[in-house]
Structure 1
Amino acid sequence: MATAQQIPDILSAEFAADPYPAYRVMRESAPLIWHEATRSYIISRYDDVERVFKDRDSVFTTDNYDWQIEPVHGKTILQLSGREHAVRRALVAPAFRGADLREKFLPVIDRNARELIDAFRDTGSVDLVGGFATRFPVNVIADMLGLDRADHEKFHGWYTAVIAFLGNLSGDAAVTAAGERTRTEFAEYMIPIIRDRRENLGDDLLSTLCAAEVDGVRMSDEDIKAFCSLLLAAGGETTDKAIASIFANLLLHPEQLAAVRADRALLPRAFAETLRFTPPVHMIMRQTATEVELSGGTIPPGATVTCLIGAANRDGSHYRDPDTFDIFRDDLTATTAFSAAADHLAFALGRHFCVGALLAKAEIETGVDQLLDAMPDVRLDDGFDPVEQGVFTRGPASLPVRFTPVTARPE
């Protein structure tokens, strides 16, 4: 087994600036690393990360979420297993697929995209991160839940604090405290709304969660609050980063941008390749229930395992030219890219596959489609190089572009 000192440490400035060379070294010569600072075993090969995510024998558990997620969200569906997990997932999943997604929430997604784009449609320039990506998913989730969009800044502040807590690998006390405060603040905000909604059901997602029942089980106020907190943080941060990344990747590959512009049916391929090439979430943790062998050595029971999605998604044993962004690659299947049968690992796999994957797909495809219509010749601001930032989650912090305004908004 290797030690972290043999490669750039995951907490170092060098790693944060560009983790991909370190990922390559890990996969090739240090596939299992004991990392003292985070007290975890780091794995980086596709086959190993896939095995962890697809585990059906409860060897790799989500017990780590007791300390990693519960302090900021409360107890969530991610911490459950067996029948308890299956029932809770059955309570929430229908809202994110099929008729509910298509009939209730696609119009919400479409409207929010248009409203944000209208604010800069005639200007000829915008920072796609600040002007669209960071606001779009939060506004969509607020509208889906039937919350007051005037509270956007609260929502954004809460999810930013939560994501910082989850990515606080160095153990910064101020970040920890800010993240933990969100649990109390969000509960004080949400619980009265949930109780009122139970008495006054509507056609929003929060009402659906309040009324949902499976096998005689209904969600408590705390269950719903925790799920909404998780949805806001996970749905906001990942979609925010994905929108910025898909545009950054396409702008840096103008021939592929031209292909997507000419044929919008390529949007799912562009999104799937972005999830592989520059995933919004670069690492997910699990905890071992028993001793287990992975590439490079043995992990003891009760250990935290840090799965490097960003490294696994560029494993040359699984993908041709893995460090090349290519929406036409034949080793990534777009038709399954947003399901538990995905080729990439950005949404995890198995029973904890991201329940909001199809919502994210709808948001990305709708948002990017409308942005391309509004910006027919979009290009990066002169001299700007879109640089990713972050370690736990990662994406461009800014993406200033210029374009020639169109004379009328497409209907």
Structure 2
Amino acid sequence: MAEPATVEELEQSIRDAQEKFNEGMGAAGDASPYPMLKELRAQSPVHAGWPEMGMEGNPDDGPQTFTAYSFDAVKAIFTDNITFSTRCYEDVVRPLQGPTILEMQDPEHAVYRKLHEFAFARSSMKRWDSELVGPLVDSTIAKFKGDKKADLVDKVFMPIPVRVIAALLGLPDSDVLWFHRLAIDLLGFRGDMDCAMRASSEMKEYFVGILADRRREPQDDMVSILAASEVNGVKMTDEQIYGFMRNLLPAGAETTSRSTASLAMALLTHPDQLDAVRADRSLLPQAIEEGIRWETPLLNFMREVTCDTEIGGVQIPKGATMMLSLGSANHDETRWDDPERFDIFRERKPHIGFAHGAHVCLGMHLARLETTKIFNALFDELPGLRLDPDAPPPYVTGTMFRSPPRLDVVWD
């Protein structure tokens, strides 16, 4: 495939596309949604409309929308996959990515979930650790280690998860930047649907060739695994594999990029906790979970209500759209003391940042693996890592996706 630009031009186009995407996702300065979410939770666990997005109440006629804000309400909705269906994603996701597991319901979903799980097998995870993620993290950091200063979002947190996903799909290094740019365009459909559809079409055209190659000559990658997998006589169709490939990078890389960046900012702005984790790496797993709870990378999910029901004391009619505020659920003061505070030493309780129930995130173990490798390498290779005192203070931004847009650091 011919490169449409130089590496430098492609890297800059990715930065520009990411900035455009962030703006379309409600990134405007350092405004935080959490004060409003706290007020909404205090009023009711469930509200009519989508208040934090400016949708107060519901019209007398037309589509009804409700939003769940408390941890218990959000978890209950994720748990009841019959009443609260993911079928709504068929209208939103399928035009862009093709058929994906996201929109499926049981019993079909259970079969295809098992097919997808072959691609994320725990047995593969150990190999990815030593053969893929570790070397990729080390080589990435080695490129700028001697500079003694960097924007970690640009140098580490944005490129590494993308390159991991690209490698798992078996894409050549020469195509990774092009792939990353298309993935951002695809994710930015709310701001520019025409651009997203063009990116989707270009991705599929490319993946047709990749899948055909793997069917002829299987390799050690996810595409080959999915092409050969079978459960109870069921195999994934070509269109479903294209859907998986188009969904994996936006779903896997974007959220991991953001969660790692937010965790880094949290630790760097809490030097006592940073020092504790740096000195005792056994604290890293709980730091990772606290980071995802404190700044959930993707704040909202949605469901379609299949029958009249009640949740959080609110009557919900059949056919309504149910929004789930994961950000609010992960800051619920009835579950965590002082939830606005980042504290890796707080009492450990499961968060809901990876969703819950039948559709819980397939890639959560990979995300944790990547985060662990990245932070161990940062601590080992960049001694005395700290915020750049000459740079503006970092901040988290966004109302749909959240993370720091940059993170300027120095080291010894």
Smaller-chain TM-score range?
0.7 to 0.9
Matches within 5 A, 1:57-72: 58-72=82-96
Cα pair 2:115 2:229 within 8 Å, conserved:
yes
Structure 1 segments of 4+ aligned residues over 3 angstroms from their partners:
10-16, 35-39
| Alignment match of 1:215 (pick from 232, 250, 268) | 232
In structure 2, list runs of 5 or more residues that go unmatched: 1-23, 57-62
Residue in structure 2 matching 1:344, options 348, 351, 354: 351
Paired residue for 2:219?
Answer: 202
C-alpha displacement of 1:133: 0.8
CA positional deviation for 1:164:
2.1
Local SS of the residue matching 2:174 = helix
CA distance in 2, matches of 1:237, 1:106: 23
Whether 1:129 and 2:153 are equivalent positions in the alignment is yes
Q: Distance in 1 between matches of 2:113 and 2:206?
A: 24
Report SS of the residue matched to 1:178: helix
Post-superposition CA distance 1:155-199 (Å, at most 9, x none): 21222123222xx3xxx4xx1222222221111110111011111
Deviations 1:243-266 (A, max 9, x none): 101100001111110111011111
Assess if the C-alpha contact under 8 Å between 1:275 and 1:346 holds in 2.
Answer: yes
> Do structure 1's residue 381 and structure 2's residue 363 form an aligned pair?
no
Distance 2:28 2:240 in 1: 40
Matched, 1:317 2:334: yes
Match of 2:182 among 148, 155, 158: 158
What is residue 293 of structure 1 aligned with on the other side? 310
Q: How does 1:14-163 map to 2 (within 5 A)?
A: 17-31=31-45, 32-35=47-50, 36=55, 40-56=65-81, 58-104=82-128, 106-163=130-187
Task: Verify the 8 A CA contact 1:24 1:311 in the aligned structure 2.
Answer: yes
Q: How many residues align?
A: 377
Deviation readout 1:38-68 (Å, 9 max, x if unpaired): 9631221111101111114x00000110122
Do structure 1's residue 232 and structure 2's residue 240 form an aligned pair? no
Supply the AA of the counterpart residue of 2:234.
Answer: V
Q: Deviations over 1:9-63 (max 9, x none)?
A: x99888982101011011001431313489631221111101111114x000001
Alignment CA distance shift 1:380-1:120 (3 Å) = same
1:330-375 CA distance string (max 9 Å, x none): 142xxxxxxxxxx211100000000000000100001111111111
Q: 2:284 aligns with which of 258, 264, 267?
A: 267
Partner residue of 2:409 out of 401, 404, 407: 401
Of stretches 127-136 and 389-398 in structure 1, the one that deviates more from structure 2 is 389-398
User: What CA deviation, in whole Å up to 9, does each residue of 1:264-306 have, x standing for no partner?
Assistant: 1111101100111101111111110012212252221111111
Of 103-112 and 207-216, the range deviating more from structure 2 = 103-112
**1: CA distance between counterparts of 2:259 and 2:27?**
23
Partner Cα distance (1:305, 1:19) in 2:
19
Structure 1 residue aligned with 2:298:
281
What's the CA shift string for 1:361-396, capped at 9, x where partnerless? 100001111111111211111253221122211101
TM superposition shift of 1:216: 1.1
Give the Å deviation of 1:104. Answer: 4.3
- 1:105, 1:365 → 2: CA distance? 10
The answer on whether the counterparts of 2:27 and 2:397 sit within 8 Å (CA) in structure 1 is no
Letter in 1 for 2:341: T
Q: Deviations over 1:101-134 (max 9, x none)?
A: 1124542011110111011111101111111111
Displacement of 1:313 in angstroms is 0.3
Distance 1:298 1:368 in 2: 45
Separation in structure 2 between the aligned mates of residue 12 and residue 380 of structure 1, nearest angstrom: 26
Question: Following the alignment from structure 1 to structure 2, what is the Cα–Cα distance between the partners of residues 358 and 293?
Answer: 34
Please give the alpha-carbon distance, in whole angstroms, between the structure 2 residues aligned to 1:306 and 1:196. 40
Distance of 2:196 and 2:217 partners within structure 1: 31
How many Å separate the matches in 2 of 1:130 and 1:190?
A: 27
Identify the range of structure 1 (112-121 vs 323-332) with the bigger mean alpha-carbon deviation.
Answer: 323-332
Is the CA contact 1:320–1:331 (under 8 Å) kept in the aligned structure 2? Answer: no
- The one-letter code matched in structure 2 to 1:145 is L
**Is the 2:114–2:231 contact (alpha carbons within 8 Å) kept by the matching residues of 1?**
yes
Match of 1:354 in 2: 361
In the other structure, the counterpart of 1:335 is none
**Structure 1 gap segments, 5+ residues each:** 1-9, 333-342, 405-411
Q: Is the 8 A contact 2:215 2:224 kept in 1?
A: yes
* Root-mean-square deviation over aligned CA pairs: 2.0
> Which shows bigger deviation, 36-45 or 58-67?
36-45
- 3-state SS of paired residue (2:345): coil
Contact 2:120 2:363 in 1 (8 A): yes
